[in-house]
């Protein structure tokens, strides 16, 4: 079951099926669901960064106008570890009344010490623990060294370069906030939720578990979704609470976070900062990379960088790394679009440019010299895998981007150029996995009127995944994508891959292919006898079924389907199980080597203009070259890359969660002082998709945002000749770096 | 949002009669882009809201040979787009068209812009009891203050006045007509603003039972411009603003009557007297504009995180002067 070699629709530019619905507002997101008699719920949150609840008095709330139900999330005695932690939820007839109810609740707190800034916690290593379990706030996060690092690393190198590089905690800022609408049936036996989630079946499962219901009695619907970026993998507290309140009030309940909640508790990407020492030969072979870094995942203990991958992408023989987690009284970090990778890239690629500058080399030369080699073992056994191809892919991408952005004409040594407005060019590289897997049961149904339906429980986060089943099915059945009806986002269709790790498209695509082929074969089997043919005599051409048994007669699609009469032709498709893969290496190679694959590379270049009098940076142009194996929808791929770049430019220039040391609260849980660039703040983005159909389908959701910020950082360095150590590169930081640069000279 | 009684009078006199003589319980409402925000955050909790949107006579722009009159109910978008205003007062129209985004400019009004509350993030956080909310301390003084004032002498509260129309209007010599229970009064817009220190103060000198009727600007063919240092081009606030106006100054002529007013550097629009003096009677050259910029920044006492604004004042003043004089905008990217 390979991918078709001549592809009618797959790999072309297909507009998303729901584009007009989204553009006109006809599409109803979970946030837009309003049911008859629906109540609105709000959550009372702890205003302190660390406190113990002494007493909860909710009596007055229950007497407030519009009150319908109340649910205590954290009882007296409970210790809360960040401002925004959930305590009580209330449902009322309107959102405003729900807010009034919350304001009628009195809570007494014992306020406890907190840390909300990395530097403060680092300065007090023996200070009071302010995190759960009384464990130290600053904890080792791993260290590693190649053999005899101190003896051999700097042998024969030019003087090493030292730099510090940091980036702030940022928020996912999903345009549609977290939450859901919960509705029980009359006897409380069945629960339906309309959720904003990246994992439709998983959300239903989690709710079933929580309410001790058979999973068959919980239905999760996600028709349209306004972004998750790694922060929406289940019902979360607010989802469970909405269902609790709906049960208590015996009415549907909507609980979507407001903007301030979305930013303060809806997910954050951990900060990272580190001192890097890097050294190479004067020809430009990187010999040594040392990093001492830390970052804060908030109150949780999760990773901040991807320590095992430092230095990122490049092949360096001598490595030493140390990492510390700085746990703070902030919401727990959540996966965010390529978790750990953008931080790794900032801690590596910016140091690489600083090294290039000190060696007097063009950074594109330095990068070309230090790419990871193709793994010879993989070349033998897994020739389409990323390890087998990485050197080939990066080399090719560097060649492409060099031409695309006219690197040789535009690049200049760092800091050169007169005038107040200085232009710079910067580059960075990235990698990601993006392999799919089971289970993703998919059903394709052909009806006798020629209409075709594809069903899968998968979700479209805004990526254009809804259009993927239409493209693949249309290609196999000789139709157009708009001829296919796609139903997704319904947990009753069975399991599917949660949309994390860029695994959705590679997860669903081969299952759709299999189901579409099975439906085609079922159609052929059903109609062949009436055409005096064997099923094997029938084939598809655009809009037609061809009958070889009758002089290659061309039967229009609808006529052919009409022969189904009262029947339908159904095809089911899914991945083999992991156990089957283990037993059968050929099967594994087919599904995880040709139909799909894992591992991509990408190269990005940013052009910035820096106003050296004000420190204002504008990213003016951007080039991105990206591999993702077999392209399903070229338009959607380019759009994914552009979106990733936009997110990365924001990461580099604007975004930062700012916390107050004294109150422990976030000061900018908004879209005002939490700065997000608008369209005028974004560069012209040129995307080049590298098509490698022989590799099979690979995800593209995460990779294109990884190297953007580092490319922008390098462009700023190239423009002004001094490194701005901390991202986002705000005017005051750029001015400070320029002033430091002047002092040194 | 705390529930409130809503009034929608049709004359300014009726509106004023509905106001009280102390702040807090009754609030005027225009476009609501600021007041409703504060209500939703429970920072403002009026129990009576008096909308001015039913007062037809409050909106409108008139320009004759002597002066321009802009009603308090005029939308920011209408100011930004008005051809006669743009011809005489590019500084005002540029400032108006840079505000927020289209939604804000289409709802926000001139009166609301001049009377809007400050954007200090401690003030706008329901749970932080700072001076302006009846508390005992200013949290910004040694907290997160990169967007706060740098001219801080003698101030307990270190907000910046948020209006970017105000510096432009003050530089143009605008006056403001006010209606109160005892009738109309007029004042220079330069005297309209106030540096608040407690919960009974506002960012302006209106009494709680007064309202702004209109703003007047003398038409006198003066060169004028406003320059804002903005980190972002869309939906953002300036870090620092400089608005200038002067007679002459173009094509080598000396500049006289020089007015230089800074925004986002002090609790009120900041009149840069030293810079005005430094430039008076001189021509607008790069060197003179640079010197005026330096003079404008003199005396600044920045907080822990905003010394960078001193540099921005120097640059903004220089650029506004060069713009007004019609010189090359060397900073355009
Ligand atoms: C993201 C963002 C960016 C912004 N950027 C800028 C900027 O760059 N420059 C800038 O200047 N502004 C900026 N603004 C603020 C915007 O200009 C104001 O919100 C708007 O002008 C307020 O007008 P309104 O009619 O909506 O006021 P309302 O919200 O209705 O009222 C605001 C205040 O004024 C009082 N008021 C209204 N009318 C009168 C009157 N006639 N007499 C007396 N009191 C009155 C009200 O009682 C209330 O206290 C920005 C706002 C946002 C959200
Ligand atoms: S600057 Fe003013 S508004 Fe802000 S915290 Fe201080 S006193 Fe409050």
A210 contact partners, CB below 8 Å, separation of at least 6: A235, A240, A243
Average pLDDT over residues B250-271: 96
Q: Do A613 and B333 touch (CB under 8 A)?
A: no
Could you tell me the pLDDT band of residue B119, with boundaries at 50, 70 and 90? very high
Could you tell me the pLDDT band of residue A301, with boundaries at 50, 70 and 90? confident
Measured between CA atoms, how close is A667 to chain B, in angstroms?
Answer: 6
Residue A115 pLDDT: 97
Cα-based distances in Å from A75 to A53, A57, A581, B186: 7, 11, 48, 58
Q: Which atom of ligand 2 is nearest to the CA of B123?
A: 3
Q: Do A100 and B232 touch (CB under 8 A)?
A: no
| pLDDT > 80? residue B137 | yes
Residues lining ligand 1, Cβ inside 6 A: A 672; B 27-35, 52, 72, 76, 98-100, 104, 107-109, 111-113, 115-116, 162-165, 206, 211-212, 235, 237-238
Task: Extract the tokens encoding A722.
Answer: 């001094």
The shortest CB-CB distance from A731 to any of B125, B127, B308 is to B308
Residue A489 pLDDT: 98
Residue A657 pLDDT: 98
From B193, B209, B169, select the one nearest B48 (Cα to Cα). B209
Angle at B315 between CA B312 and CA B318, to 5 degrees: 145
Could you tell me the pLDDT band of residue B103, with boundaries at 50, 70 and 90? very high
Quote the ligand 2 centre to A203 CA distance (angstroms).
43
Could you tell me the pLDDT band of residue A230, with boundaries at 50, 70 and 90? very high
Q: What CATH number corresponds to the domain at position B249?
A: 3.30.390.50
Q: Which residue of B has its CA nearest to A260?
A: B41
Environment class of A661 (CB within 10 Å of its CB; exposed 0-12, middle 13-18, buried 19+): middle
Task: Extract the tokens encoding A120.
Answer: 């403060």
pLDDT digits (tens, 9 = 90+) for B169-205: 999 999 999 999 999 999 999 999 999 999 999 999 9
Phi, psi of B212 (to 5 degrees): -80, 130
Which residues of B fall within a CB distance of 8 Å from A613? 311, 315, 331
Is B137 a member of any domain?
A: no
Calpha distance A416→A605 (Å, rounded): 18
Q: Do B127 and A663 touch (CB under 8 A)?
A: yes
- End-to-end, the C-alpha distance of chain B in Å comes to 44
Q: Do B234 and A654 touch (CB under 8 A)?
A: no
- Phi-psi label, residue A127: left if phi above 0, alpha if psi -120 to 50, beta otherwise: beta
**CATH no., domain A268-435+597-744:** 3.30.365.10
Task: Extract the tokens encoding A508.
Answer: 């669903």
Quote the ligand 2 centre to A162 CA distance (angstroms).
40
Quote the ligand 2 centre to B267 CA distance (angstroms).
10
Calpha distance A530→A471 (Å, rounded): 30
Distance of CA A584 to the CA centre of its chain: 32
Q: Which fold has domain A19-27+436-592?
A: Aldehyde Oxidoreductase; domain 4 (3.30.365)
| pLDDT > 90? residue A418 | no
Q: Do A667 and B1 touch (CB under 8 A)?
A: no
Is B104 a member of any domain?
A: yes
Is B282 a member of any domain?
A: yes
Q: Is A742 on the interface with B (CB under 8 A)?
A: no
Average pLDDT over residues B92-102: 96
| pLDDT > 90? residue A617 | yes
| pLDDT > 80? residue A303 | no
Containing H/E element for A545?
Answer: strand A544-547
Which residues of B fall within a CB distance of 8 Å from A51? none
Calpha distance A512→A595 (Å, rounded): 11
Residue A721 pLDDT: 97
Q: Do A678 and B235 touch (CB under 8 A)?
A: yes
Calpha distance B168→B95 (Å, rounded): 7
Is B176 a member of any domain?
A: yes
Per the DSSP assignment, residues forming a β-bridge with B178 are B185, B212
Residue with CA at minimum distance from ligand 2 atom 8:
B130
Calpha distance B245→B59 (Å, rounded): 26
User: If DSSP states are collapsed to H, E and C, what string results for A232-293?
Assistant: CCCCHHHHHHHHHHHHHHCCCEEEECCHHHHHHHCCEECCEEEEEEEEECCCCCEEEEEEEE
| Cβ(A262)–Cβ(A175) below 8 Å | no
Same domain, B260 and B210: no
Calpha distance A139→A299 (Å, rounded): 12
Same domain, B252 and B103: no
Residue A416 pLDDT: 87
Question: In this structure, how many other beta carbons lie within 10 angstroms of the beta carbon of residue A702?
Answer: 27
Same domain, B269 and B233: yes
- Phi-psi label, residue A462: left if phi above 0, alpha if psi -120 to 50, beta otherwise: left
Q: Do A671 and B235 touch (CB under 8 A)?
A: yes
Quote the ligand 1 centre to B211 CA distance (angstroms).
14
Average pLDDT score, chain A: 97
Q: Do A667 and B308 touch (CB under 8 A)?
A: no
Which residues of A fall within a CB distance of 8 Å from B302? none
Choices 3.20.20.150, 3.40.250.10, 3.50.50.60, 3.30.365.10: CATH for A178-256: 3.30.365.10
- Phi-psi label, residue A148: left if phi above 0, alpha if psi -120 to 50, beta otherwise: left
B293 contact partners, CB below 8 Å, separation of at least 6: B275, B313, B314, B315, B316, B317, B318, B321
Is B325 a member of any domain?
A: yes
Is B207 a member of any domain?
A: yes
Q: Do B139 and A663 touch (CB under 8 A)?
A: yes
Calpha distance A577→A588 (Å, rounded): 10
| pLDDT > 90? residue B325 | yes
Containing H/E element for A399?
Answer: helix A386-404
Is B68 a member of any domain?
A: yes
pLDDT digits (tens, 9 = 90+) for A644-675: 999 999 999 999 999 999 999 999 999 999 99
Q: Report the residue of A49, A67, A659, A732 to disrupt the B interface, i.e. the one with the largest count of B CBs within 10 Å.
A: A732
Could you tell me the pLDDT band of residue B117, with boundaries at 50, 70 and 90? very high
Measured between CA atoms, how close is A184 to chain B, in angstroms?
Answer: 29
Quote the ligand 2 centre to A88 CA distance (angstroms).
30
Q: Which residue of B has its CA nearest to A611?
A: B331
Same domain, B67 and B195: yes
Average pLDDT over residues A594-607: 98
Residue A126 pLDDT: 79
Which of the residue ranges A296-305, A419-428, B84-93 would you say has the lowest mean pLDDT? A296-305
Calpha distance A233→A204 (Å, rounded): 11
Predicted TM-score (pTM) of this structure: 0.97
Residue B252 pLDDT: 82
| Cβ(B150)–Cβ(B310) below 8 Å | yes
Residue A321 pLDDT: 97
Residue A442 pLDDT: 98
pLDDT digits (tens, 9 = 90+) for A248-277: 999 999 999 999 999 999 999 999 999 999
User: If DSSP states are collapsed to H, E and C, what string results for B67-100?
Assistant: EEEEECCCEHHHHHHCHHHHHHCHHHHHHHHCCC
Quote the ligand 2 centre to B11 CA distance (angstroms).
35
Could you tell me the pLDDT band of residue A550, with boundaries at 50, 70 and 90? very high
Could you tell me the pLDDT band of residue A475, with boundaries at 50, 70 and 90? very high
Could you tell me the pLDDT band of residue B108, with boundaries at 50, 70 and 90? very high
The shortest CB-CB distance from A420 to any of B229, B234, B331 is to B331
Same domain, B69 and B195: yes
| pLDDT > 80? residue A302 | no
Is B18 a member of any domain?
A: no
- Kindly list the strands in the beta sheet with B61-63, ordered across the sheet, starting from the edge strand earlier in the chain: B61-63, B67-71, B211-218, B175-180, B183-188
Average pLDDT over residues A718-733: 98
Angle at A166 between CA A162 and CA A167, to 5 degrees: 160
Contact map slice: A 66-125 vs B, CB within 8 A: 96, 99-100, 103
Domain range holding B315?
223-332
Quote the ligand 2 centre to A184 CA distance (angstroms).
47
| pLDDT > 90? residue A118 | yes
Whether ipTM > 0.85 holds is yes
Average pLDDT over residues A378-386: 96
Question: In this structure, how many other beta carbons lie within 10 angstroms of the beta carbon of residue B221?
Answer: 7
Same domain, B67 and B199: yes
Which residues of A fall within a CB distance of 8 Å from B1? 96, 99
Domain pair A35-116 / A178-256, same fold = no
Q: Is A736 on the interface with B (CB under 8 A)?
A: yes
Which residues of A fall within a CB distance of 8 Å from B305? 732
A739 contact partners, CB below 8 Å, separation of at least 6: none
Between A and B, how many CB-CB pairs are < 8 A?
96
Choices 3.90.1170.50, 3.50.50.60, 1.10.287.130, 3.40.50.720: CATH for A35-116: 3.90.1170.50
Q: Is A672 on the interface with B (CB under 8 A)?
A: yes
Residue A125 pLDDT: 78
Q: What CATH number corresponds to the domain at position B208?
A: 3.30.465.10
Which residues of A fall within a CB distance of 8 Å from B332? 421
User: Given B180, B196, B218, which residue is the final one in a domain?
Assistant: B218
Average pLDDT over residues A421-426: 97
Per the DSSP assignment, residues forming a β-bridge with B186 are B177
The number of distinct structural domains making up chain B is: 2
From A655, A678, A653, select the one nearest A263 (Cα to Cα). A655
Ligand 2 pocket test, pick from B119, B138, B194 with the greatest ligand atom count within 8 Å of Cβ, gives B138
Q: Is A681 on the interface with B (CB under 8 A)?
A: yes
| Structural domain spans, chain A | 19-27+436-592, 35-116, 178-256, 268-435+597-744
Q: Where are the beta strands (DSSP E) in A147-251?
A: 161-167, 170-171, 179-184, 191-195, 218-221
Q: Do A616 and B330 touch (CB under 8 A)?
A: no
Average pLDDT over residues A225-230: 96
Quote the ligand 2 centre to B307 CA distance (angstroms).
18
């Amino acid at each position: 079951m390979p991918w078709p070699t001549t592809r009618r629709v797959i790999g072309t530019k297909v507009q998303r099926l729901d584009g007009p619905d989204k553009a006109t507002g006809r599409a109803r997101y979970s946030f837009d669901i309003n049911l008859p008699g629906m109540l609105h719920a709000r959550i009372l949150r702890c205003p302190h960064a660390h406190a113990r609840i002494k007493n909860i008095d909710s009596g007055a709330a229950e007497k407030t106008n519009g009150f319908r139900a109340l649910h205590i999330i954290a009882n007296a005695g409970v210790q809360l570890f960040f401002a925004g932690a959930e305590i009580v939820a209330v449902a009322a007839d309107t959102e405003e009344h729900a807010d009034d109810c919350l304001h009628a609740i009195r809570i007494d707190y014992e306020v406890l010490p907190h840390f909300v800034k990395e530097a403060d916690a680092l300065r007090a290593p023996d200070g009071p623990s302010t995190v759960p379990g009384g464990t130290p706030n600053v904890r080792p996060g791993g260290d590693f060294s190649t053999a005899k690092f101190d003896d051999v690393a700097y042998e024969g190198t030019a003087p090493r370069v030292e730099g510090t590089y940091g980036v702030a905690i940022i928020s996912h800022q999903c345009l549609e906030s977290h939450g859901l609408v919960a509705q029980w049936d009359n006897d409380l036996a069945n629960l339906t939720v309309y959720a904003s989630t990246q994992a439709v079946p998983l959300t239903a499962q989690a709710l079933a578990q929580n309410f001790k219901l058979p999973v068959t009695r919980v239905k999760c619907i996600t028709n349209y979704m306004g972004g998750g970026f790694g922060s929406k993998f289940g019902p979360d507290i607010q989802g469970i609470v909405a269902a609790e309140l709906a049960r208590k009030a015996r009415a549907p309940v909507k609980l979507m976070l407001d903007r301030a909640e979305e930013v303060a508790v809806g997910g954050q990407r951990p900060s990272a900062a580190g001192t890097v020492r890097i050294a190479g030969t004067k020809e430009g072979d990187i010999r040594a990379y040392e990093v001492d870094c830390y970052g804060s995942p908030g109150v949780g203990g999760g990773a901040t960088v991807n320590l095992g991958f430092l230095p990122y992408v490049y092949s360096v023989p001598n490595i030493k790394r140390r990492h510390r987690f700085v746990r703070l009284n902030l919401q727990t970090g959540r996966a965010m679009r390529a978790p750990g990778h953008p931080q790794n890239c900032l801690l590596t690629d910016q140091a690489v440019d600083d090294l290039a500058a000190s060696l007097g080399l063009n950074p594109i030369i330095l990068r070309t010299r230090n790419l990871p080699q193709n793994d010879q073992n993989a070349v033998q056994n897994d020739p389409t895998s990323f390890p087998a191809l990485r050197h080939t892919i990066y080399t090719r991408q560097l060649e492409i981007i060099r031409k695309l952005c006219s690197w040789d004409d535009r690049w200049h040594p760092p800091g050169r150029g007169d005038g107040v407005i200085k232009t710079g060019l910067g580059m960075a590289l990235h990698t990601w996995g993006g392999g799919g897997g089971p289970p993703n049961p998919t059903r394709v149904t052909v009806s006798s009127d020629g209409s075709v339906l594809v069903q899968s429980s998968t979700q479209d986060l805004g990526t254009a995944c809804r259009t993927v089943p239409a493209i693949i099915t249309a290609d196999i059945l000789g139709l157009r994508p708009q001829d296919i009806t796609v139903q997704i986002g319904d947990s009753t269709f069975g399991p599917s891959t949660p949309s994390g790790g860029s695994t959705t498209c590679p997860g669903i695509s081969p299952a759709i292919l299999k189901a579409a082929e099975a439906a085609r074969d079922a159609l052929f089997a059903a109609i062949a006898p009436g055409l005096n043919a064997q099923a094997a005599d029938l084939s598809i051409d655009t809009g037609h079924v061809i009958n070889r048994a009758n002089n290659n007669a061309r039967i229009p699609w609808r006529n052919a389907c009409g022969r189904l009469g009262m029947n339908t032709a159904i095809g089911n498709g899914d991945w083999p199980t992991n156990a089957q893969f283990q037993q059968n290496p050929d099967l594994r190679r087919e599904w995880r080597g040709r139909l799909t694959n894992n591992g991509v590379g990408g190269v990005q270049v940013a052009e910035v203009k820096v106003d050296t009098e004000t420190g204002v940076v504008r990213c003016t142009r951007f080039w991105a070259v990206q591999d993702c194996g077999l392209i399903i929808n070229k338009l959607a791929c380019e759009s994914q890359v552009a979106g990733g770049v936009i997110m990365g430019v924001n990461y580099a220039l604007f975004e930062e969660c700012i916390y107050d040391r004294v109150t422990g609260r976030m000061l900018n849980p908004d879209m005002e002082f939490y700065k997000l660039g608008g369209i005028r703040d974004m560069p012209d983005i040129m995307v080049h998709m590298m098509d490698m159909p022989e590799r099979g389908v690979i995800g593209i959701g995460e990779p294109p945002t990884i190297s953007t910020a580092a490319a922008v950082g390098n462009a700023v360095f190239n423009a002004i000749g001094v490194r701005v150590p901390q991202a986002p590169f705000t005017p005051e930081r750029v001015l400070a770096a320029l002033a430091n640069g002047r002092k040194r000279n | 949002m705390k529930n409130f009684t809503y009034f929608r009078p049709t004359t300014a006199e009726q509106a004023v009669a509905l106001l009280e003589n102390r702040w807090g319980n009754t609030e005027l409402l225009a476009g609501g882009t600021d007041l409703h925000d504060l209500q939703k955050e429970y920072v403002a909790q009026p129990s009576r809201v008096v909308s001015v949107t039913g007062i037809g006579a409050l909106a409108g722009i008139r320009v004759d040979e002597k002066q321009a009159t802009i009603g308090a109910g005029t939308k920011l978008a209408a100011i930004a787009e008005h051809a006669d205003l743009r011809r005489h007062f590019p500084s005002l129209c540029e400032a108006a068209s840079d505000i927020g985004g289209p939604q804000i400019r289409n709802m926000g009004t001139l009166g609301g812009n001049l009377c809007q509350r400050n954007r200090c993030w401690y003030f706008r956080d329901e749970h932080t009891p700072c001076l302006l909310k009846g508390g005992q301390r200013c949290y910004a003084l040694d907290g997160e203050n990169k967007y706060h004032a740098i001219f801080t002498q003698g101030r307990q509260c270190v907000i910046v006045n948020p209006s970017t129309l105000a510096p432009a209007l003050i530089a143009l010599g605008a006056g403001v007509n006010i209606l109160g229970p005892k009738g109309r009064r007029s004042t220079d817009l330069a005297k309209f603003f106030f540096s608040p220190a407690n919960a009974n103060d506002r960012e302006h000198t209106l009494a709680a039972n007064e309202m702004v009727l209109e703003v007047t600007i003398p038409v006198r063919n003066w060169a004028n411009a406003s320059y804002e240092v903005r980190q972002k081009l869309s939906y953002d606030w300036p870090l620092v603003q400089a608005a200038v106006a002067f007679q002459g100054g173009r094509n080598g002529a000396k500049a006289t009557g020089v007015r230089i007013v800074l925004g986002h550097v002090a609790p009120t629009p900041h009149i840069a007297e030293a810079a005005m003096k430094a430039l008076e009677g001189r021509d607008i050259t790069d060197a003179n504009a640079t010197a005026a910029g330096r003079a404008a920044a003199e005396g600044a006492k920045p907080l822990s995180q905003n010394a960078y604004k001193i540099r921005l004042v120097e640059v903004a003043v220089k650029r506004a002067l060069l713009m007004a004089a019609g010189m090359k905008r060397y900073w355009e990217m």
